[in-house]
Structures are given as structure tokens and as C-alpha cells.
A and B are shown apart, each in its own frame.
Chain A
Amino acid sequence: MAVFLILPLAIFLLFVIWPFVQAIYYSLTDWGGFSPTMNFIGFDNFVKLANDDTFMQAVFNCILLGIFVPLITIVVALIIASVVTVAGPSKGTIRGVKGSGFYRTVSFFPYCIPAIVIGLIWSQVYDPSAGLLNGFLTSIGLHKFTNFAWLGEVATAMPASMFVIIWGFIGFYTVLFVAAIKSIPAEIYEAVRLDGATRFRTAWSITLPSIRDNIQTAYIYLGIAALDSFVYMSALFPNAGGPANTTLVISQDLFNTAFRKGQFGYATAMGVVLAAITLLFAAIVFGIVRLTKGREEGRS
């Protein structure tokens, strides 16, 4: 019986937990990766990171991603989820608009496509001359977009990348919210409808508070994924960084530092910073949710 536990646990400890533990130590060394020597240098790597402009730019970009990607994804997913569950006619049963099943099926599909392929598809869609987007925009008369490089301009590279990431996520979170909204008892909707509440009021005062925990979970998952963003950015900007490093993310900087420059110790320190930011992000989300919950309970 012990074999049942020991074998999986051994693999897990060796390939997951042990590397995590080692990472903390490596981040305090000047290990070059391919050299056998490794000196303990304390927090020097972190001091160096704080003065590394490229890295700080990457941190800034990650914070942008961590704020906007979850926010937009959740708002759009919530709207779509409400529409397919409760936006139907105001008479009769509470239900969504016609054909909701079809819309859900189509919008869930991007979740299954490998992220690298999503990136590759969109880098072709954004292509300045042969891309779908500029082809569409010029065909409706917007000729200033002829040969416009969406991923090559400082102003558009980051928003365009965010759009791609959001495109990949929305379907999954729509399905998640649809399930959550369906678990709200229909009687509550019936009651507020009889009381004459508008649709907007219903969504704001009934739907949102009822699924607050789902939104919190979604926000944390999305935030962790957005702080990473490695795959999408690797596909959209194979040379890492984009125009003036406006789309460089920590994970890409880490990858290059480790596997192209061979500075393993320094790269691991970046990993520690990324992990710290991720934890901080989760803590902030928990804090905000707790605050809003407390306020409403105090009011009622």
C-alpha cells in the first residue's frame, strides 16, 4: 500500500518541490549555470534587479497585464454570461436570449487551443500587409491602417497583446460564470422582477453579490496567468520585448537571462520576484473582496 503513495510522491518531490526549494537558494548565488562554481552573495541579485531598467520595465508591464487582463476579461465574461442566462424576455420563465447554447459553444473553444497557436494566429491577423485586421479596416475605408504595424508601435503593442490574451480567456470564464449564475435560485429573480427592479439593478444588486466568490477565484487565476503571459508574448514577439520593450514580461526576461545569457542565479532571483508579486497580487484581491463584503454586511 505504501508503494501507492511513495512513487507519485517521490516524482512530485524531485521534480516540483525540490526545484522550488533550490530556487530560493540559487537566487542568493552568482551561479552561472554552466560553471561548477557558485558563490553565496546574499541579496546582491535583488539589489541588481532593482537597478536593472529592463527588468523594472518588465515588472511594470506585468503589473499592467495583471490589472487590465483580469478586469476586462471578467467584465466581458460577466456580460456575456448574464445575457445567455437571464437577459431573455421579462415575462415567463427567467431565461437567456435565443441560441445561447450556440454562442457558448463557440466562445468556449479558444480555451482548448494551445496558447502558442493563439499567439501565432493573432500575429498573422495583426500582420501589417497580409493580415486579416488591416485587410478588414482598409476594406471599410480606413486607409490610414494600410501597413499599420499593430505589434510594432509603442502605443498599440501592449493593448493589442492584451486583446489576444483576453480573447483566449473569455470563453472559459463565461462558462464558469454561467454555471455560477444558474446556481442562484430563480425565485430571487422572480421576486425582484415583481418588485419592479430594472435589469441593470437586478444584475448589480442580485447577480454580482451572489457570485462574488466566483469572481474572486476567477480574478486570482486570471491574474496569475496574466502575470506570466510567457507563451502569448513569445508567440507575438519572438525576439522578446516588442517596441522599446513595452511588452517585455518578467518570464521572458527570466528565460533569456537563464537560457540565453546563462546567468542562472540572477534568473532565479527574477523568479523569486515574480512569485512574490503573484502572492502579493492574490493577497490584494482577497483584501479587496473582504472589504466590499464587510461594507455590504454593515449596511444591511
Chain B
Amino acid sequence: MTSTSQIIAPGLNKQGLSRNQNKQKLTKGDVAVGTASHILLIVWTLIVAVPLLWVFMSSFKTTKQILDSPFGLPSKLDFTNYVNAWNGSGIGSYFANTLIVVVSALIIVMILGAMCAYVLARFKFFGARAIYYLMLAGLTFPPFLAIVPLFKVLQTIGLLNSLPGLILTYVAFALPFTVFFLYSFFQTLPDEIYEAAQVDGASEWRTFFQVMLPMATPGMAAVAIFNFLGLWNQFLLPVALNSNQSNYVLTQGMAQFASQAGYSVDFGALYAAVVITVIPVLIIYVFFQRQLQGSVSQGTSK
């Protein structure tokens, strides 16, 4: 119990009370507030967790079992639904498309974003400020305003309904966020190291890729995780700009299920597809939970 409290409130724990002093008798008020708090938290946890667990359970049931009773347990651990979703409903190819688009866009946007943020943060030149504000504007404007002209732009350059077109737009729309956050990161790096590299005769390219970029790794990692989640979950851009079904990404496959729901949809496959879509983000979440929540905290503590 004491160990939990220390993890939860490291910043609040400075006054050096010994652990024994924490074990003072609880007052009636403490017990009442504590109980009420726990009930509240437990109810909320159930509201969050139960639908997710229910979906997971349902993904092993046959469509008939699903329609018979929402609570019935699956008769056996049966992966038929997963096979059906993967092959029959095209989730397999959507998964591959998503992976190609997201990974390519992520790599490109991290490199381009880092270069752009680096130049903006380290060199003073005419227009630097304007470019920075332009990025900020791109971050705040609703993408819906741009979607129709964007359709036209992609059509004109012949990249509409293609994976490269989708990758490029993903990069463009993830760029402001990436630049914005890496900008403040590059600003904190000491000037001396840049100067040392220059004195040693490193070219600008070398200074950037071998000296400055490795120093920015923590910032890059945090931004990359957020970008991965954002791009993996991206919906509007593919729905509007990628209507060729063989190029669908996972979120579009999900939308397809949504629009079929109520008709003769294979419910078992639907639940399996949901699980397949969530698993990559779940893995990212489990591994990077600390960084994710930490970055949220950092953003506010300025």
C-alpha cells in the first residue's frame, strides 16, 4: 500500500514522513470518502473494461450463439471467426495495407519532421517564424475544410485511391504535430555540441544525422508513438481519398462492417476483426504506457 502511494504521488511525498506515520488511524470521513471513491472508480473501470472483454469473448462465439444470448460463454476456444475475418472479410489484406501505409508514413514523417524542426530551432533566418506559425495553423484547422480540395489535388497528380497518395497525405497531416513537438526538443539541446561537431569538420548532414539526431532520441520516440497511434487510427483521410477496395486500410474495413451491421453480417467475424485491429495498439500501449502517460504529463507541466 505504501509502495503504491509512492508511485502515485512522488511529487507530493517530499515532506519526509516515515512510512509508519502513514498508518495512523483512519477517521470516519476517510473511510466514507475512501469507500465512495472506490465505488466510483470500480464502476468506471467496469464501464471501460466490460465492453472490451465482452467483445473479446464474443469473438470466439458463432453468430448463432451471439444472437441467442449476449452473455453465453463460447462453447470452445474456436478461431474460426478469426480465419473468416482474416480471409473472407479481407481483414488480412487491410491489415497489410495499413502496415505498409502507417510504417512508411511514420518513417518519412519522423525524418522530414526532425529535419524541419532542427532547421527551425537551430538556425535564425528570415521567415523561420512564419513557417512555425504556418505549422501551428495546420495543427489547429479542421481537416474537414481541406478534404474536398485535397481530393482534387490528389486527383490532379494521379495519386487518388493509391497507397503512395495516402502515405503522402498521412505524412503531410502528421507533420505539424511532429515539427511542433520536436522543435521545442531541439531547442533544449546545447549549442556547444553543435559547435564542437563543426570544429571537428563534420558537414551539416553529418552533424544532423550522427550528432544531433541521436541526442533527440527520447523526444523522437515519444512523438513516434503518438504518430503511430494517430495514423493507425486515421479514418477521414482514407475514407475520402482511398475508395479503391483493394487498397482499404483497417479502419475502412471496420466502417464496412458498421455499414453492413443489421443486415446479414457475420457477427463472429466482426468481433474477431475488432480484436485484430485493437491488438497492435494494445501491444504498443502495454510496452509504451509509461512514455505515453509521461508525455501527456510533460505537455501540461510547462
Contact = CB atoms under 8 A, between A and B. Distances in A.
Interface of A: 1, 4-5, 7-9, 11-12, 14-20, 22-23, 26, 33, 76, 79-80, 83-110, 112-117, 119-125, 129-132, 134-135, 139, 167, 170-172, 175-176, 178-180, 182-183, 186-187, 189-190, 199, 214, 217, 224, 227-228, 230-231, 234-236, 238-239, 250-251, 254-255, 258-259, 264, 267-268, 271-272, 274-275, 278
A93 B11 contact: no
16 contacts: A4-B208, A16-B173, A19-B153, A79-B40, A91-B25, A102-B45, A106-B48, A112-B284, A115-B233, A124-B55, A124-B267, A214-B300, A239-B259, A255-B239, A255-B240, A259-B240
A12 B176 contact: yes
Nearest to A258: B148
B118 to A, nearest CB: 7
A95 B14 CA distance: 12
B135 A12 contact: yes
Given A9-B131, A23-B145, A274-B145, A107 B11 contact: no
Contacts of A99: 4, 38, 41
Contact of A87 (B11, B33, B171): B33
Interface string B142-155: 10111111111100
B243 to A, nearest CB: 8
B234 to A, nearest CB: 8
B70 A238 contact: no
Given A76-B44, A132-B50, A186-B14, 7 more contacts: A16-B176, A19-B148, A108-B293, A120-B274, A139-B71, A182-B297, A271-B148
B34 A268 contact: no
A197 to B, nearest CB: 13
Nearest to B42: A103
Interface in B23-63: 23-27, 29-30, 33-34, 37-38, 40-41, 44-45, 47-52, 54-55, 58
Contacts of A175: 293, 296-297
Given A19-B150, A106-B49, A271 B144 contact: yes
A85 B8 CA distance: 7
A87 B175 contact: no
Contact of B8 (A33, A96, A199, A231): A96
Given A105-B289, A123-B261, A125-B51, A26 B142 contact: no
Contact of B40 (A80, A88, A89, A236): A80
B37 A83 contact: yes
Interface string B221-261: 00000000100110110011000000000110011011101
Interface stretch (B73-81, B89-97, B275-283): B275-283
B285 A109 contact: yes
Contacts, number: 339
A116 B251 contact: yes
A87 B37 contact: yes
Given A167-B47, A172-B296, A135 B22 contact: no
Contact of B138 (A17, A86, A258): A17
A110 B55 CA distance: 14
A101 B8 contact: yes
A230 B236 contact: yes
Given A7-B112, A9-B131, A83-B37, A22 B149 contact: yes
A149 to B, nearest CB: 11
Contact of A123 (B7, B52, B235, B258): B258
Report which residue of B5, B27, B134 has the largest number of chain A beta carbons within 10 angstroms of its beta carbon.
B5
A8 B180 CA distance: 13
A70 B234 CA distance: 22
Contacts of B120: 5
B172 interface: yes
Contacts of A135: 69-71
A190 B71 CA distance: 48
Contacts of B271: 124
Contact of A186 (B11, B151, B236): B11
A15 B173 contact: yes
Nearest to A179: B297
Contact of A230 (B23, B229, B235): B235
Interface in B103-122: 112-113, 115-116, 118-120
B168 interface: yes
B12 interface: yes
A268 B9 contact: no
A135 B235 CA distance: 31
Contact of B150 (A15, A94, A120, A224): A15
Contact of B146 (A23, A120, A122): A23
Contacts of B289: 105, 108
